[in-house]
């Protein structure tokens, strides 16, 4: 066990373990680290924790219980650890040791040497899969006519692409040197001398493990298809590589459990054989149109970092926004579940903001732990509460006849309905 200076480890809890096959082993009283978050984070976390604890208590009758352990990142971390300590080593160590954590929204610091705390968490802990399920809840206002048709889970590669890319500012010597090298190697390539230059890494290793996780998810959940989303028609070696490597790992690792879309049409007249997951691919821009016009034809999307960022928010908008959009960052040795929205500092401390994103991220966390009964009960309770029109301001202002309640009150009603 690591030594901690500012983290208090609960005495009554036990550690989650990851075995040699990367399978999670969860005790009945797991220690789970949490980060409150910045801005509205404390309000949201307090409300969400109430829902989690009540669900576990009611579902398991005391046989299971969470031992919560606070760790620090973002603005609160500065007060605990000092200047520029946006993501202290103790926080990373705690997540590594205790395996599963949950967090509220965090400020992206100006200065401090971190481009984004969320990106740093993903890269430092090798949380290579950003998993975001998107679905509609009855009664939530949405901009499309049939929001119920969209029910997808997006697997976004977390560690490569432009988010871990290298950039050189325009007119710097580094940029000029790289432009000169490119012109030397590719004399027919036209590059303006005053260009900024970016390098976008995409590897076979990173692409294959992300796609493999998406396919395993589809098999476990008995979902019909995994769609590889890419821009390989233009970026043939990075985005195109992702597509090619995705098909390769599907065939090599999953064998007769999967079938390609081409094979479905060539051998089965367009009808997917029962029990097989169909592997297909779509160009990224076309995928946005497909999700608007034919959303019910898609169930699991696997894509690179930037495409996944765009698609996650666009899908969330179709079903009412980020207020009810959960997220998880999962690797082989650790997982961090998180709110997908920002900190909304103007609402901090007002007990006003919608806690739905963190609550549903907790649902994902329970599913990850194998506590599906608690997860199912929270989803049902949340759905019931929203359908009655008892909602926070962001939903109430768009729902006819709704009753606006505080963040804490919304959580109380969900907990009562569990």
Which one of 64, 76, 103, 231 is the catalytic residue? 231
Which one of 43, 161, 309, 351 is the catalytic residue? 309
Which one of 285, 313, 332, 376 is the catalytic residue? 285
HSE value, Cβ hemisphere, 13 Å, CA-based, for 55: 28
Active site residue 63: no
The pair of structure tokens assigned to 119 is 């990106």
Which one of 163, 298, 393, 413 is the catalytic residue? 163
Active site residue 231: yes
Active site residue 285: yes
Active site residue 309: yes
Q: From residue 3, how far is each of 70, 93, 146, 263, 335 by CA, in Å?
A: 15, 10, 53, 55, 21
Q: Which of 154, 95, 191, 114 is nearest to 288 (CA)?
A: 154
φ, ψ of residue 16 to 5 degrees: the values are -75, 145
- Please list the active-site residues: 163, 231, 285, 309
């Amino acid at each position: 066990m690591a030594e901690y200076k500012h983290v208090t480890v609960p005495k009554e809890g036990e550690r989650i373990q990851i075995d040699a096959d990367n399978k999670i082993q969860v005790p009945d009283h797991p220690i789970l680290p949490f980060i409150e978050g910045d801005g509205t984070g404390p309000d949201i976390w307090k409300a969400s924790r109430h829902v989690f604890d009540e669900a576990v208590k009611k579902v398991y009758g005391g046989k299971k219980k969470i031992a919560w352990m606070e760790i620090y990142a973002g603005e609160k971390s500065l007060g605990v650890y000092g200047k520029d300590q946006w993501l202290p080593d103790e926080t990373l160590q705690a997540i590594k040791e205790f395996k599963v954590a949950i967090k509220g929204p965090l400020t992206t610091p100006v200065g401090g040497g971190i481009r984004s705390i969320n990106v740093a968490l993903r890269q430092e802990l090798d949380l290579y899969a950003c998993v975001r399920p998107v679905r509609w809840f009855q009664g939530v206002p949405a901009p499309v006519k049939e929001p119920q048709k969209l029910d997808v889970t997006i697997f976004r590669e977390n560690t490569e692409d432009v988010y871990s890319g290298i950039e050189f500012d325009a007119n710097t010597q580094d940029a000029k040197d790289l432009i000169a090298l490119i012109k030397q190697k590719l004399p027919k390539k036209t590059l303006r001398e005053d260009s900024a230059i970016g390098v976008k890494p995409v590897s076979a290793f990173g692409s294959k493990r992300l796609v493999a996780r998406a396919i395993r998810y589809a098999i476990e959940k008995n979902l019909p298809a995994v769609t590889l989303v890419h821009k390989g028609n233009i970026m043939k070696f990075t985005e195109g590589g992702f597509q090619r490597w995705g098909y390769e790992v599907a065939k090599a690792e999953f064998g007769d459990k999967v079938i390609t879309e081409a094979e479905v049409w060539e051998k089965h007249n367009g009808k997917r054989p029962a029990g097989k997951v169909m592997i297909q691919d779509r160009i990224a821009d076309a995928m946005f149109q497909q999700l608007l016009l034919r959303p019910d034809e898609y169930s699991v999307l696997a894509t690179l970092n930037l495409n996944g960022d765009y698609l996650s928010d666009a899908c969330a908008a179709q079903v009412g926004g980020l207020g009810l959009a959960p997220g998880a960052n999962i690797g082989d040795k650790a997982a961090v579940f998180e709110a997908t929205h920002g900190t909304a500092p103007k609402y901090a401390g007002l007990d006003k903001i919608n806690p739905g994103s963190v609550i549903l991220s907790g649902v994902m966390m329970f599913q990850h732990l194998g506590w599906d009964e608690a997860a199912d009960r929270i989803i049902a309770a949340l759905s019931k509460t929203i359908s009655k029109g008892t909602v926070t301001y962001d939903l109430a202002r768009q729902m006819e006849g709704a009753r606006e309640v505080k963040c804490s009150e919304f959580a109380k009603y969900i907990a009562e309905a569990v």
